[in-house]
Amino acid sequence: AQSVTQLDSHVSVSEGTPVLLRCNYSSSYSPSLFWYVQHPNKGLQLLLKYTSAATLVKGINGFEAEFKKSETSFHLTKPSAHMSDAAEYFCVVSSPGGKLIFGQGTELSVKP
């Protein structure tokens, strides 16, 4: 069975400092993994996806994630946080047949 765990429910950083949002997954198959972002009172938007090509995946707005099979992790990073990055972030694994399993979400706060 597929599952995903986001290790932090809330992360707070200062503007200009690095961002790390942690995600571990469990999958019986070679997984597809995604990060989605949800800004306040908005729908979700795809940040990036991994589908067994390069293990380092670059997304929009300077975000990237690295697929580490040995650690079953897919952490999201950004070198320098911006105020506009404040949002909720979801790590997602795709199950056979295309169903998506969402993590619980990590709320990112960015302090000026």
Contacting positions for another protein (CB under 8 A):
9, 29, 32, 34, 36, 41-46, 49, 51-52, 90, 94, 96-100, 102-105
Burial 12-34 (b: 16+ CB within 10 A, else e): ebeeeeebebbbbbebeeebbbb
CB of 23 to another protein, least distance (A): 12
CB of 16 to another protein, least distance (A): 29
Q: Which is nearer to another protein, 7 or 44 (CB)?
A: 44
Cα 50 from Cα 65, distance rounded (Å): 9
Phi, psi torsion values for 83, nearest 5 degrees? -55, -35
Q: What Rg value do the Cα atoms of the chain yield, rounded? A: 13
Q: Which is nearer to another protein, 26 or 80 (CB)?
A: 26
Q: Which is nearer to another protein, 66 or 107 (CB)?
A: 107
CB of 31 to another protein, least distance (A): 9
